[in-house]
Structure formats: structure tokens, C-alpha cells
Chains A and B, each alone.
Chain A
Amino acid sequence: MNASPERITGTPQHRPSRARTRVGPRALTGGRTLDVDSLIDDPHTGIIVCCGSGGVGKTTTSAALALRAAERGRKVVVLTIDPARRLAQSMGIEVLDNTPRPVSGVSPRSGRGGSLDAMMLDMKRTFDEVVESQATPEKARQILQNPFYIALSSSFAGTQEYMAMEKLGQIHADAQRSGAYDLIVVDTPPSRSALDFLDAPERLSSFLDGRFIKLLLTPAKGPARLMTAGFSMVTNALTRILGAQVLRDMQTFVAAFDTLFGGFRQRAQKTFELLQADGTAFLVVAAPEPDAMREAAYFVERLSEDDMPLAGLVVNRASPVPQGEVSAEEAMAAVARLRKNDPDSLTAGLLRLHADRVRMVEREARLRSRFEAAHPEVPTAVVPALAGDVHDLAGLRQIGALLAGERPT
């Protein structure tokens, strides 16, 4: 595994010259190639965030990157959200205890001294821990038992996003203090939209500063005369719609939580700034499907809008490029000729497979070139699909190598 950065940028895996370059993944993305090894080797890279729509292989990409970085000498922790069971088992993180655990079986190249820890996010527990660390024991107990809090911390659609950011902030602060890690790789939750994840801190802040919170706080806090006509109208309407008891639970929760809000907002803001900082790199992960590529384009737009440092695009599960120069049409014509004599011709079956594969590769190439036309500045890494599933370190290592542009020879 010779993988110095120069090799990777310098000579991208040349296919045999007879192969059609127009279907080769690298040749096709005439655009810039994402140099994964330089990214993970750069000591300034402190955080890598993998984002993208659901089902594109974000978790696998995060884990593979983390493992590769560790074996190349970084002290890495990977924060995953919802890994497949067998992958979690192979990394030793199937127990949800919200603490990074060392992954065994990592073999850093001699003299490089890298390490890999992994953890799986438990959003409710993270939320509880924040409450416990910020409030007095008595108040914490009060909050943790509030029905509104219980619903909020375990089911609210955005909680996972907030908590992923919260945990990232915590791990980063700890790492700065202890020096335990010099690279944090974060897998983001499969959000319904990119907004959920990037907007988490902003939305939290605007909510906490909003009039609604003041409204909920008023009866608990001050004398009733402070209530304006608008306030009482809203309170009455809410009582009608929600029922008095829900409103009361909410008020109790907000009142108990009030003192923690400042801390929350500050941390959310800090994490947001951390994401914008130089040491952070965002990788947008996609699969060569129209929806996933569209979502990827959207992520790219959003990241640049928010001044988030985008390192590149990873296109997972690309169909492997077929060898030989026979086009889909030629292959299908040959199929017809062969089947005339022998309806069960095995070679005809092989040619059909070939035709399908050529068509897939061409379709995926079109998708990528469309993306590239719109975002020529985004460096891209294309990871060919493996025939089997990835569920152990060997599989992750293989993905890591493919990410870095190594091709089996």
C-alpha cells in the first residue's frame, strides 16, 4: 500500500489505454479529484463531518476514513449515529454508553502510533447529561421527570441533530484538554433535509430568544399584570387547543429549563463556529442516483452559503467500469444473433450483463457530470461498489483504500 499524496494526485489509476476513457470514473470527472490521504494526513484537519441523504453509505464512509486516518498515524475518534449492527459489533460499539471506546484490530503502520476510538450517539443520554452537568441536582431531577422534557428528548425530530452537535462540541473540548484525539470524524444523522442539521444551533437560538418562550415563562415568573392583551389571547387559545394540562407541563419545563438556556445557546453557537473553522472539513456523501445527487448538490449549496469548509464529494457505490470496448448496442445485437442459434447461450447472457453494466455506468457518469458542471470547484472521489457488504475492519480498510484512489491491480 504505497499511498503517498503525490502518487494519488499524480497518477490516477490508469486503465488500460484501450478502454474507453469516457466511461472511466476518474477520466469522466474531468474535474478535480478529492485527495483523501492529504486531507486525513494534514495535521490541521481536526474535524471531518460526513453529510448526505439517507442510505448513501455515510456511516461506512465515516468509519473507513477514521480507520484509514488512524492507521496512517492520527489519533482518531469516530462519532457514529446508527451503524449497521455487524459493523458496530466489529468496532466494539454495539453497547450504547455514549463514551468513545477503543477499536481493537487497528494496525497503524510502524512508527506512526495512530489509534482509533469509536462511539455511537445516544441522543437521550446526551441530552440528560447536558441537563445534569448544567443544573443543580434537584433541578435536574425536576427537568428529567417532566413529561414534556421526556417527549422532547426522545422523540423530537431535530433532537438527534442538536445532540450530535453537542457531543461533537464536548469531544472536541475534551480532546483539546487531554490531547487524546487529534482528529474527530462525525457521521451526521440521516436528516429529512440538510437544514435540520445545519440549522440546529440557529433554530435553537431563535427559539430560545423568541416571544413564545417569554410567553411560557411569564405566568411562572412575573405578576399577571405584565401580561398584555396579546399574551392572554394566546394563552387562552393554547389552552383551548392543547388543554390546560399540556400547557402547564410546558410551562413547568420552560421555567425549570430557563437557567440552562443561556448555556445551551452559547454551546450551540460555539459548535457552529467550530464547524466553520479552518480545521474542519465537510465531505458530502452521495450515491450515483438522481435523488442522492440532487441532495448532494443541495448540501454543497448550503455549506457554501453558511461558509462551511467543504472538502469534497464522495460518490459511493459506483457501478464498476466494464472492460473492453463493446458498447451496449453492439452487445445487444450480438445477443440477438447468438440467441437465434442457441436460445440458452451463456455467452448471450454474459453480453446482456455487459450491456446493462455499460448503461448503468453511462447513466451514473451523466449524473456526475451534471453535478460537476454545476459545481466544478468540488473535488470528487468515486468509490466503486463492492460485490459484498462491509461489516468488518478488513472491509473498511478496503473502502478506505478505494476512497484514497487506490485501485486493485
Chain B
Amino acid sequence: MPSRDFPRVRLHVVTGKGGTGKSTVAAALALGLASEGSNVLLCEVEGRQGIARMFDVEPLPYDERRIATGLPGPEGERGGVVHALHIDPESALMEYLAMYYKLGRAGKALDRFGVFEFATTIAPGVRDVLLTGKVYEATKRNSRHKGAITYDAVVLDAPPTGRIAQFLGVNNELAGLARMGPIKSQADSVTKLFQSASTAVHLVTVLEEMPVQETADGIAQLREHDLPVGGVVVNQVRPRDLDDDDLSAVRAGQVTKRKVAADLSRAGLTGSGEMVLGLLAEARDHAERRALEDTQRALVEKLEVPTYELPLLVSGIDLGALYELAGLLRDQGLA
């Protein structure tokens, strides 16, 4: 089942400022997209082995591995399959050369002269081209490729917002460097996919000033490079244990110690006065944060892209939590 809000998209790129949980969101999205009978590939490109940790499996090789069953359907239908791929530039380069050039002994010589090391660490932009090239290959694959798994959707856990336009658009830069020849045509077709309606770049943020600002900047940058902006996933939203009336009562100082103390003793918590003061202090703190969240949420709404919200999970992220988040993304239409 394709994404409800992005039915034509095959490549979902997930970016976000560091610390906003973009890898978690990418993993949850992959689980959510993998409904009955469908195949989803989750890729990571930053060498962190975050997928292996989240799904509690051995570190991933440069090879597509089945890592999880997708989120079950609303009637309990069995989910599809999520595969994962850890893309490192060295392996991608080797695969690329083997696929397009028969180098033979020259390949060994290139290695000996440090050309591969140069290409994957120092040469401008080459690293990104290799990483995105592999994502391109996995996304464009179809039934004509014998023996290879084909995917209904590919989810890319991409570099952070500050680098995303460059990461996806760097092909243009390299293509600019190479005015003709094989690199140019390869770079051009990758760019074409990224700029097409088959791709959506989703941005993960939290409701704080800096990440929201960076999200706005990121969207502007993506648009400038004709890269299709998908949705904004607002992550780690604080629980709404207090409704708006409660919050205004807290802010106005109308919640009395006496009332709270009476409630506590009714609930069997023969509380100390300190506990009551503590609860009220926490409430004020919470009210202040909620007000900040509301301000930032208003800014996110002004971005005029579809938004999705995921809650802050106080117990941390484990496999169960990923399915919970996947369900929420599906309910809201991103998956």
C-alpha cells in the first residue's frame, strides 16, 4: 500500500536536524509503508549502523537484509517486508565500477595508487554521488533485473537538514565539474529522479526554535533546487496531560495548594507539602514549554506543507515503540 498522502512517491527521503530523531522516523515510516504484500527498503548512508541498533540485529553489511515484518493492517492483515541496506561509499564505488567498467587489473592499480581512498574521502562530492547513486539504483530497479529484490518504496535515512540539499543536489555540482562524459550522464539521471514526483523529502523537527528555523531554511533550500518537499514530521511532542483550561489555570496561578493537597490525600498519597509544591512547579514549567511548543507549531503550520505529529516516548525507543510510531504515521496518512 503506498503512502496515502504521497501515493506516487517511491523514494521517501527523511532528513532533520541532529537530535530530532530522523532515523527513528525513517524506520517507523518504513514499517508503516510495508503493508501486506509490499516490500520496503530502508537505507542508511552515514555509517552509523543506526538501523541495526534500532532493530536489534547484527551490524548491516553492504547487502539488502530482511530485518522486520511491516506494520499489520487495520484488520490485522499481516504486514509486508522491510529490508535494510547500509550504504558505504567504498562498496558502492566497487559495485559501480564492476557494473559499468570492466577494469580488471587496472582496478587493482587504482586501489594501489590510493585513487579509491581519494575518491571516497577527499574528492569533492564523490562520496555523496556514490551514496545517492546506490539509492537511485535500488529505487529504479524493476522486474527486468533478474534475481534482485524490487521495492514498492525506498526510505532513505538521509544526512541532516543542513546538508540535505547539497547531498541530493551535489550531483549538479559534480556534473558541473564534469561537463560531459560518463559521470555527467549518471549524475543527470540521479538528479532527474530526485527532482521528480517519485521522490518526496520529509523533514523531521521538534517544537523548538532552532530546529523549526532550520526546517524552514531547509524547505526553502529544497525548493530552490527543485527538490520535492514532502511533509514535516513534528517529533517528540510533549504529552497533553493538561488541557488548555488546565494550562491557563496553571499560568494564572489559580491552582491552589489546598486543592492539590486534598486531591492527593483522596488518592491515598499522604503527600508532604513539598510534593504539592513540586507538582505545581512542574506544572508551571510544563505550561511554559507548552506555550513555546504552540508558538513553534504555529510557525510550522505557516510552512504550508502537510504536518504529522509523533509523541515524546518517555521510556525511549525500542522495536515496539517503532511499530507504535509507524501506526501513528499511518493513521495520519504519511505511511
Contact = CB atoms under 8 A, between A and B. Distances in A.
Interface of A: 16, 18, 53-56, 82, 84-86, 147-148, 151-152, 155-158, 190, 192-193, 203, 207, 210-212, 215, 230, 233-234, 236-238, 240-246, 249, 287, 289-292, 320, 322-326, 330-331, 333-335, 337-338, 341, 344-354, 356-357, 359-360, 363, 387-389, 391
Contacts of A211: 112-114
| 4 A-B pairs closest in CB distance | A54-B18, A55-B19, A243-B181, A55-B18
Contacts of B278: 322-324, 354
Given A157-B127, A234-B110, A387 B17 contact: no
B245 to A, nearest CB: 9
B178 A338 contact: no
Contacts of A357: 282
A349 B241 contact: yes
Contact of A359 (B112, B213, B271, B314): B314
Contacts of A359: 314-315
Contacts of A56: 18-19
Interface of B: 17-20, 23, 46-48, 50, 97, 101, 103, 105-107, 109-110, 112-115, 117-118, 121-125, 127-128, 159-160, 162, 166, 170, 173-174, 176-184, 208-211, 213, 239, 241-243, 246, 249, 255, 259-260, 263-264, 266-269, 271-272, 274-275, 277-283, 285-286, 288-289, 292, 314-316
A237 B103 contact: yes
Contact of B162 (A82, A348, A352): A82
Contact of A233 (B19, B106, B114): B106
Contacts of B249: 346
A156 B118 contact: no
B117 to A, nearest CB: 8
A147 B279 contact: no
Contacts of B159: 192
Nearest to A239: B181
Contacts of B255: 346
B266 A338 contact: yes
A326 B275 CA distance: 8
Contacts of A389: 208-210, 292
Contacts of B113: 210-212, 215, 230, 234
Contact of A155 (B124, B179, B184): B124
B259 A347 contact: yes
15 contacts: A55-B211, A151-B173, A157-B127, A207-B118, A210-B118, A234-B106, A243-B183, A245-B181, A323-B275, A323-B281, A326-B269, A334-B267, A334-B269, A345-B263, A363-B316
Given A242-B181, A246-B181, 8 more contacts: A158-B122, A190-B18, A212-B114, A323-B278, A326-B269, A334-B267, A347-B260, A388-B288
Contact of B242 (A54, A246, A338, A346): A346
A357 B285 CA distance: 11
Contacts of A326: 269, 271, 275
A249 B277 contact: no
Contacts of B264: 334, 347
B268 A337 contact: yes
Contacts of A85: 213
B246 A349 contact: yes
A286 B152 CA distance: 38
A292 B19 contact: yes
B288 A203 contact: no
B103 A354 contact: no
A171 B80 CA distance: 57
Contacts of A347: 259-260, 263-264, 267, 279
Contacts of B271: 324, 326
Contacts of A238: 110, 115
Nearest to A391: B209
Given A84-B210, A237-B103, A349-B242, A291 B50 contact: yes
Contacts of B124: 148, 151-152, 155-156
Given A234-B110, A323-B274, A323-B275, A249 B241 contact: no
A334 B117 CA distance: 61
A210 B113 CA distance: 8
B285 A320 contact: yes
Contacts of B182: 240-243
A363 B272 contact: no
A354 B101 CA distance: 62
B312 to A, nearest CB: 8
A204 to B, nearest CB: 8
Contacts of A55: 17-20, 160, 211
Contacts of B267: 334-335, 337-338, 347, 351
A324 B275 contact: yes
Contacts of A344: 243
A217 to B, nearest CB: 12
Nearest to A352: B241
Contacts of A244: 181
Nearest to A203: B121
A244 B115 CA distance: 16
A86 B210 CA distance: 9
A387 B289 CA distance: 6
A36 to B, nearest CB: 22
B181 A354 contact: no
A167 B255 CA distance: 55
Contact of A334 (B101, B181, B268): B268
A235 B317 CA distance: 50
Contacts of B50: 291
Contacts of B239: 352-353, 356
Given A334-B269, A350-B283, A363-B316, A86 B209 contact: yes
Contacts of B101: 237, 240-241
B274 A18 contact: yes
A326 B269 CA distance: 8
A239 B170 CA distance: 21
Contact of A84 (B180, B181, B209, B289): B209
Contacts of B107: 237
B274 A353 contact: no
A158 B259 CA distance: 60
Contact of A54 (B17, B103, B260, B280): B17
Contacts of A341: 266
Given A234-B110, A334-B264, A346-B242, A290 B275 contact: no
A55 to B, nearest CB: 3
Nearest to B111: A234
Contacts of A388: 288, 292
Contacts of B177: 147-148, 151, 246, 249
Contacts of B184: 243
Q: Which of A203, A323, A357 has the most CB of B within 10 A?
A: A323
